[in-house]
Structure 1
Amino acid sequence: MNPVVEAFAFLLGFLGWLMVGVTLPNRYWRVSSVDGNVITTSTIYENLWMSCATDSTGVHNCRDFPSLLALSGYIQASRALMIASIVFGSFGLVATLVGIQCSKIGGENYLLKGRIAAIGGVFFLLQGLCTMIAVSWYAANITQEFFDQYYPGTKYEIGEGLYIGWSSAILAMCGGSCLMCSCSFKEPGEKKHYPYQPSSRGRVVSTSSRSVNTNYGRNAYV
């Protein structure tokens, strides 16, 4: 395992996890479109938790979604996926911090530490997948409503929160892939040598006793 690759992968995973924490409370997941509107008096922007509006004077007004069951299915699923992403990222940070070589946590058993680091890479991959699915699903519904000519409601465009989510997913998946690839290869000095264990009878036959000179004549056995 290369310590530089491990440290770089840990940095990518940490940045991805940090950006997920920025994406989740970001209010600009979708922003109302001005396409086709001659006069725009207010701008509406939403995320997974609330809907906000701002008028031409700059006054903001936000309200939480009143009911969880009244929300669309993709919003509920995106909430669950984003929360799962943060949980997976937390587990990945802890496992990677224990498993990398430059950390003294967990002793000096580098074989075990490498396996723990690989588990951290799996958690980072799960984090990136959950974030990518949630953000892409949300964006797909925005574009579907935007290009639907018969949609009666307010049409929205993709906000900055989704771009941050996509970036965090890519960073997390790159960090997890680097960890798993670096832990799958072993250098010659990292191989673990096992000592010779005697047989179950508790007796070891020495190889030197087999090299005794056996060129004796027949008279030697009389």
Structure 2
Amino acid sequence: MKLIGSSEDEQVKLYAYKAMEDATERVTLDINGRTKEFDWSISHYSGTEPQLYYTDLTGDGKEEAIIIIQIGRGTGLNIYEIHVVNSDNLSEIKVQRYEDIVAEHIESRVSKNDDGTLAITANSQGQVDNFNYDFDPAPDYHQDELAFGGIIIYTLDNHKIKLSLPGSIGISPTYVCDFNITYTFNKADNEFIVDQIEVKPMELR
């Protein structure tokens, strides 16, 4: 089997179990010599190697294996997925999906100002942010709330999962603000769920 990624300390390794022409459709995860297969798909064209980490995210004093895979890229697209695996029993620990976070915690409004700029309101966990965007990138396109899903970037920061989830307007997406989401571990449900959301307007490029 071909090694396609390992953590810095080499305690977590990822092998291609079933490699097709365009993508690896199944992988074998090795944590300290114990292995399990997962049906994670890894494109051969993403240009970004899988990122593997071995660190304690749940706070129980034991390390988990964390695998971050780029699953989509292109103009206006940059999409990653994250997997967290318990190093004892090799079970995957759920990470709350961005769709559920948006549905449960984020409300947004997009409206047009008289001068052709856009007024954007973002309400996340009861915190309301209002800002104007300097122009309307799609003046004939009616959109009353922000769109999500074109950029989904997971990172690890100080034993926490972070998610950068920009909101966009227009058909060919123009990203106007970034929702920086920090996860926390919910022990009762054995799941990583949203803890904090911070909204930042994007700078015009």
Give TM-score scaled by structure 2 length. Answer: 0.21
Larger radius of gyration: 1
Give TM-score scaled by structure 1 length. Answer: 0.20
Greater strand percent: which structure? 2
Greater helix percent: which structure? 1
